[in-house]
């Protein structure tokens, strides 16, 4: 499948200035901006900026950003699953992962995260993908938000719904290790039935392995 990317943008407003949400952007376009020093959820800001610039130039890679003037204050990434993850088992070209979403703390409350997802799905080519996000409570900013696990989960689900992602069952060991963890999924309207069937198998790989051990029963 030839991956295509169409640029879109929207604007969110704070009390002081507008926030531009735009993408997908190339590494060259990203390099023209600064990366906020408080975007530290995954690694030091400079290293994370380099990482998202690399993702931006993958054939399937997509980076949508939120910026205040020329400073990136939020972003979301999309790319194929890591080769070591179960989601890459079948090497599906039409399966991509919402790998990271992050917003600077002082800009939370302006629906920046949900806006990033809205811009992501404005591109009609996203209808050719199964988009997944694996949510683990130990990655959530419970301390910074002062929210309980379950209240954070509710907010996270609402945010993901802005991009059309909904909770889906799976037997993935890490996800089922805690009831707050979940798999979020969006299946584009152009995804073929064969891919949906493969994805259903991926969601329940443990069940498939067990059946194989039992001789298919």
Tokens read off for 114: 């949900």
Q: Give a yes or no: residue 177 inside a domain.
A: yes
Tokens read off for 104: 């600077």
Say which residue the tokens 């020093």 belong to: 37
**Which residues 6+ apart lie within 8 Å of 198 measured at CB?**
90, 92
Residue-level pLDDT at 206: 81
Q: Which residues of the chain form beta strands (DSSP E)?
A: 8-13, 18-23, 34-35, 62-68, 71-79, 95-103, 130-135, 166-168, 182-187
Question: Structural domain tally of the chain?
Answer: 1
Q: Give a yes or no: residue 80 inside a domain.
A: yes
Residue-level pLDDT at 144: 84
Residue-level pLDDT at 141: 87
Say which residue the tokens 């975007």 belong to: 39
What is the radius of gyration, based on Cα positions, of the chain? 18
Q: Give a yes or no: residue 48 inside a domain.
A: yes
Burial degree of 11 (CB within 10 A; 0-12, 13-18, 19+): exposed
Q: How many CB atoms lie within 10 A of CB 128?
A: 20
pLDDT digits (tens, 9 = 90+) for 169-216: 999 999 999 999 999 999 999 999 999 999 999 999 987 654 554 555
| pTM flag (> 0.85) | yes
Contact 56, 26 (CB under 8 A): yes
Contact 21, 122 (CB under 8 A): no
pLDDT digits (tens, 9 = 90+) for 111-141: 999 999 999 999 999 999 999 999 999 988 8
Q: Give a yes or no: residue 18 inside a domain.
A: yes
**Which residues 6+ apart lie within 8 Å of 149 measured at CB?**
137, 140, 142, 180
Residue-level pLDDT at 213: 47
Separation CA 18–CA 16 (nearest Å): 7
Beta strands 71-79 and 95-103 are antiparallel
CATH number, position 64: 3.40.630.30
HSE, CB side, 13 Å, CA atoms: give it for residue 171: 10
Mean pLDDT confidence for 30-39: 98
Q: Give a yes or no: residue 215 inside a domain.
A: no
Q: Give a yes or no: residue 142 inside a domain.
A: yes
Q: Give a yes or no: residue 65 inside a domain.
A: yes
pLDDT digits (tens, 9 = 90+) for 67-114: 999 999 999 999 999 999 999 999 999 999 999 999 999 998 899 999
Contact 45, 37 (CB under 8 A): yes
Q: Give a yes or no: residue 217 inside a domain.
A: no
Distances (CA, A) of 154 to 149, 167, 196: 9, 11, 27
Range of the domain at 30: 8-210
């Amino acid at each position: 499948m030839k991956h295509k990317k169409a640029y879109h943008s929207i604007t969110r407003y704070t009390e002081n200035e507008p926030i531009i949400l735009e993408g997908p952007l190339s590494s060259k376009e990203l390099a023209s901006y600064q990366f906020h020093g408080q975007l530290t959820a995954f690694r030091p800001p400079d290293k994370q900026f380099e990482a998202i610039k690399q993702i931006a130039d993958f054939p399937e890679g997509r980076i949508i950003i939120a910026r205040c003037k020329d400073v990136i204050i939020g972003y979301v990434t999309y790319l194929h699953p890591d080769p070591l993850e179960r989601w890459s088992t079948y090497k599906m070209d039409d399966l991509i992962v919402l790998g990271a979403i992050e917003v600077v703390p002082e800009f939370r409350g302006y629906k920046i995260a949900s806006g990033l997802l809205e811009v992501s799905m404005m591109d009609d080519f996203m209808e050719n993908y199964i988009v997944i996000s694996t949510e683990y409570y130990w990655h959530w900013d419970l301390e910074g938000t002062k929210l309980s696990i379950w209240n954070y989960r509710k907010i996270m689900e609402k945010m993901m719904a802005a991009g059309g992602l909904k909770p889906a069952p799976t037997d993935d060991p890490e996800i089922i290790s805690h009831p707050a963890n979940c798999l979020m999924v969006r299946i584009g309207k152009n995804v073929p039935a064969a891919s949906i069937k493969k994805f259903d198998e991926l969601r329940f790989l443990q069940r498939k392995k067990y059946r194989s051990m039992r001789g298919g029963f």
